[in-house]
Structure 1
Amino acid sequence: MPKILLTGYIQFPQNTSDEDLACIRAELAIHSQLTLNEVGCIRFKVAQNIIDPLRFDVEETFIDKAAFQSHQQRVKHSNWCKVSQSASRYYSTSEI
């Protein structure tokens, strides 16, 4: 069964304040740990871009489509979803 790879980035709006950005980073740390603890998560990396601090580069790998879908369902009801709702998401997924 193929693994699922998601790559891309999320971009927060230009009017995101330093205070909001601090909140985003704090919630991202929690979101990352919760995701890494999910059954089927192989890799989860979200890093603030060095050149554009409002951009976060994303790379996720899950053991299969079911694990990836389970992750997506959890995220819909998470604090991370609320904190990052203003961000635009640019992702691609593939089977590897």
Structure 2
Amino acid sequence: MSNVFLSGQLVCSNRDEAVVVAEFLPLHIELTRAEQGCLSFEVNLTENPLVWQVDEQFQDAASFRAHQQRVAESGWGRATANINRQYEIKGI
């Protein structure tokens, strides 16, 4: 088993999308950090108010995939589905 790392940016196209991210992000972070296999999860606003830096680490591919599935079905996943994500994933 090897760790899975995701790093990149969540890029909003306008202020309305940024407001949605800010509204849904605290619960998303809380739920993700509580997931089995989550080793670290950081989402931080950059100097650009439309861009967040995302860095995740999961203990293995199974826990990462479970996270991805949970997210897709969550309020966060539905609310931010159309926001641009520029991520690189290593370990899968």
TM-score, shorter chain, exceeding 0.5? yes
Partner in structure 2 of residue 57 of structure 1? 53
Please state how far the C-alpha of 1:87 moved relative to its aligned partner: 1.0
**What does 1:1-96 align with in structure 2 at a 5 Å threshold?**
1-14=1-14, 16-17=15-16, 21-50=18-47, 52-95=48-91
- 3-state SS of paired residue (1:9): strand
Aligned residues: 91
Q: Conserved in 1, the CA contact under 8 Å of 2:6 and 2:57? A: yes
Contact 1:42 1:62 survives alignment (8 Å): yes
Equivalent residue letter for 1:80 = W
What stretches of structure 2 of length at least 5 have no aligned partner? none
Q: Distance in 2 between matches of 1:85 and 1:76?
A: 8
Unaligned runs of 5+ in 1: none
Counterpart CA distance in 1 for 2:19 and 2:44 is: 14
Task: State the one-letter code of the partner of 1:33.
Answer: E
Q: Distance in 1 between matches of 2:85 and 2:19?
A: 19
Partner amino acid for 1:31?
H
Identity score, percent: 32
